[in-house]
Chain A
C-alpha cells in the first residue's frame, strides 16, 4: 500500500451545505495507477467528496469547506489556485451521460481545441481518434463522426464522455456512478475500459454496485453519514471488514 507515493492526499476534509454537514473530517490517501472505489448508502456524501477533487462544488453557493486536499502535494483549495488548471488535471465523468449537443468528433475535440486553439488539424484528428480508441468506442462510431453525440445509445454516450475526458489528457479521472444509467452489457464494457485506464491514470469511481466495486477497484472507501468509515485494499475490506457498519452494508442490511 505504501510502495508508491500518494497522488491525492485528503486531510480532515469537512464540508457543509449551509448548516448541513455533508462530510465529517475525512482523511484519505489515494494512490496513482490504481482504481479507488467509493461506496456507501445514498446521501452519505460520495458525490460531494468526488466533486471536491475538481472543485466543482464551487458552483454551489451554500458550499463551505474545511481541511486540505493536496494533489501532487499542492493544496487545491489555496486561495490563489487557478481552478481551471486543476480541472484540466482532474477529469470527470458524470452519472448521466452528458455529451454536448454537437457531433461526435466535436465532442471529443472540444476540450482540446479550447486548451490549444492553434492546434493543427491533423494533430487534432489524431488525438480524437486515439481517445475514441482508448475509450473502446472507435469501432462503433468511426463511420459517423459527424453525427450528433446525442444520437448514440446511453452506453456509447458514456464512453464518448470518457473519450472527451481522455482527449484533454488529465492525470486523475473521477467517475460518479458512471454505469448507473446503463444496461449490463454497456456496464461490462465500461468496466473493462476502466481496467485498462488504470495503467496511466489515477481513477476514482463512485458506485452503488458492490459487485462492480469488488471487480474493478484496488482500494475501497466506505462512507456513512459523511464519515469515511473504512478504507483499505479492496480484497481485505470485502473479505473481512473491520467495522460493523461496513459488514452490515456489504451484507445488504442498509438501504
Chain B
C-alpha cells in the first residue's frame, strides 16, 4: 500500500507544478531563448559573410582598371607613369590602363626570398626549439619567438630603415656601381634585399611558432622506435620527425607567406618605393635594386584614391592581394586539417 502511495505522489507533483507555473512561463521562455539564438546566429552569419562583402566590394571597385588593362595589368610595367597620368588627367578612359608587373614581381620576390629564410633558419630554429634545446633555454626561447611575432611591423620597418638599409648602402654598394646603374635606378640601399631581410625577421617567428608546434606534436612513439633502432638523433629528426610534422610545417609556411604578401608598411619603408622590375641580367645587383610590392603600393599611393581611376588601380592591387591570401588560407586549411593526427596519413 505504502508503495502505491509513493508512486502516486511522484507522478502527481510534477504535473501539478507544470500546470500552475508552466501555464504562464512556458510559452514565454522558449520565445526569449529563440530570439537570443536568432540574434546570435545573425551576428555569426554577419561575421562570416563579411569576407564576401569585402571581396565583392574590392573586386567591383577594381573592375574598371582590370577591364581596361586586361592581361597587360599582369604582363606589362609602367605603373608609376600610368599612375601619374591618371592623376593628372583625372581619369579619362585612356588613363585606366595600368601595368602592375613590377609590383607583382616585387611581391613574389620579397615573399619568396623571405620564405627561403624561413625554411632554412626558421626551420632550424624550430627544430632546435622542439628537439635540441636544453631545458633552461626552452622557456626563454619560446618567449622570444612569441615576442618577436608580436612586434609591430612598423618597428621592423624602422629598424630595417635605420640599420639594414644603411648597411647595404655602405658595404654592398660602391660608388662605381651606383654610377653605373644610375640610368636604370637609384641604388641607395633601399632594395629587394632589405625587403627580404626585414620580411624574414617579421614572418620568421610566425613560421617558427607553427613549425615547432607541428614538430612537438609529431607522435612520440615514432621517435622512440627510431631511436631504439639505433638511429642517431639527427637521422631520426630528418627521416621520422620532420616527415611526420610535414603538414604542420607546410601550413606554417603558407600562413607566413600570407603575412608576407600582405605586409605593407615595413616594406614601403625599406624597399625604395619605386615600381622597378629588377633585372636578373645584372647579376647579384638584382638584389640591390629597389622594388615595390602590391601592398606597399597601396600605402604609397593612397592619396591618389580621390581620383576614380587611381582608386580603381589601387583596388586592383588590393584584389590581387585579397585573392592570393584567400587562396593561401584555403590551401593551408587542407594541410592543417591533418594537424590533429600529428600530420600522419596513410600513403
* A-B complex is real: yes
Chain A interface (Cβ < 8 Å from any Cβ of B):
54, 56, 59, 61, 84-85, 87-92, 94, 96, 98, 100-103, 110-111, 114-115, 148, 150-151, 161, 164-165, 168, 170
* B264 at the binding interface (Cβ < 8 Å): no
Residues A101 and B224 in contact in the complex (CB < 8 Å), given A61-B135, A85-B230, A87-B229:
no
Which residues, 161 to 210 on B, are CB-close (under 8 Å) to A? Answer: none
On whether the beta carbons of A114 and B244 are closer than 8 Å, the reply is no
On whether the beta carbons of A100 and B227 are closer than 8 Å, the reply is no
On whether the beta carbons of B346 and A111 are closer than 8 Å, the reply is no
Contacts of A161 in B (CB 8 A): 225
In the complex, identify which listed stretch (B91-99, B144-152, B232-240) lies at the interface while the others stay far away: B232-240
Q: Residue B229 contacts which of A59, A91, A148 (CB distance < 8 angstroms)? A: A91
Cα-based distance from A25 to B124 in the complex (angstroms): 41
Cα-based distance from A100 to B344 in the complex (angstroms): 10
Q: Is the interface of B mostly helix, strand, loop or mixed?
A: helix
On whether the beta carbons of A91 and B222 are closer than 8 Å, the reply is no
* B221 at the binding interface (Cβ < 8 Å): yes
Chain B interface (Cβ < 8 Å from any Cβ of A):
135, 219, 221-232, 235, 239-240, 243-244, 344-347
On whether the beta carbons of B224 and A59 are closer than 8 Å, the reply is yes
Residues A84 and B347 in contact in the complex (CB < 8 Å), given A56-B224, A94-B224, A100-B225:
no
B216 to chain A, nearest CB (A): 13
Shortest 5 CB-CB contacts between residues of A and residues of B? A88-B230, A92-B228, A98-B221, A111-B229, A87-B230
On whether the beta carbons of B346 and A94 are closer than 8 Å, the reply is no
On whether the beta carbons of B232 and A101 are closer than 8 Å, the reply is no
- Closest B residue to A107 by beta carbon equals B225
On whether the beta carbons of A98 and B225 are closer than 8 Å, the reply is yes
Contacts of A90 in B (CB 8 A): 228
On whether the beta carbons of B224 and A100 are closer than 8 Å, the reply is no
On whether the beta carbons of A91 and B346 are closer than 8 Å, the reply is no
Cα-based distance from A151 to B135 in the complex (angstroms): 37
Residues A101 and B347 in contact in the complex (CB < 8 Å), given A94-B224, A96-B221, A161-B225:
yes
Residues A168 and B225 in contact in the complex (CB < 8 Å), given A100-B240, A110-B239, A148-B347:
no
